């Protein structure tokens, strides 16, 4: 199958985001092991006993970072894919995708490493700008058919 430049660009950045989500998931698992804080009794027993079936603030921070990715990246993947169908210029599409990826990466780093405020909030807001822009452009493109 042959993809146009915008579609290929979107696929590239979308896969980077999925890889980033996998990395956060792996970090969460590694922090669980290091902190001996397991969510399930069978995992705790396997790693030392039921006393390790507990919550840990660092593990929870990683889990929140991962959950935040799910809440933001999944909508981006949908809106971005539909946006590609509206025929945007490659330069504008690339800018939207790149800004989102960089903002989400900074957001994850700020979340996992508990960086000083407002780093995480600013990264979140910056990441929302291309999403809102793409959504508005999609709605404008299909409004005449609704």
Query: 5-17+55-140 belongs to which CATH class?
Result: mainly alpha
Tell me if 93 sits within 8 A of 10, measured CB to CB: yes
Is the pLDDT at 1 greater than 70, yes or no? no
Pick from 66, 72, 65: which is nearest to 132 by CA?
72
Which residues on adjacent β-strands are paired with residue 53? 38
Other CB atoms within 10 Å distance of the CB of residue 145: 5
Q: What is the pLDDT of residue 146?
A: 81
91-92-95-98 Cα dihedral, nearest 10 degrees? -90
What DSSP assignment string belongs to 111-127? Answer: HHTTPPTTHHHHHHHHH
| Domain boundaries along the sequence of the chain | 5-17+55-140
Question: Could you write out the DSSP letters of every residue in 58-77?
Answer: HHHHHHHHHHHHHHHHHHHH
Q: What is the pLDDT of residues 67-114, one digit of tens each?
A: 999 999 999 999 999 999 999 999 999 999 999 999 999 999 999 999
Residue 4: predicted pLDDT: 87
Q: What kind and span of H or E run contains 138?
A: helix 119-142
pLDDT at 90: 97
Question: For the chain, what is the mean pLDDT?
Answer: 96
pTM for the full model?
A: 0.93
141: left (phi over 0), alpha (psi -120 to 50) or beta: alpha
Question: pLDDT grade, residue 2 (50/70/90)?
Answer: low
């Amino acid at each position: 199958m042959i993809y146009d430049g915008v579609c290929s660009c979107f696929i590239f950045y979308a896969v980077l985001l999925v890889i980033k989500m996998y990395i956060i998931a792996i970090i969460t698992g590694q922090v669980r092991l290091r902190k001996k804080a397991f969510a399930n009794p069978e995992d705790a027993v396997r790693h030392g006993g039921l006393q390790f079936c507990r919550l840990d603030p660092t593990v929870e921070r990683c889990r929140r970072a991962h959950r935040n990715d799910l809440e933001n990246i999944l909508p981006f993947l949908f809106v971005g894919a539909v946006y590609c169908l509206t025929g945007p210029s490659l330069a504008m599409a690339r800018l939207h995708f790149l800004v989102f990826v960089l903002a989400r990466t900074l957001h994850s780093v700020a979340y996992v490493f508990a960086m000083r405020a407002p780093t995480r909030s600013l990264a979140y807001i910056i990441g929302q700008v291309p999403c809102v822009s793409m959504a508005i452009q999609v709605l404008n493109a299909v409004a005449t058919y609704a």
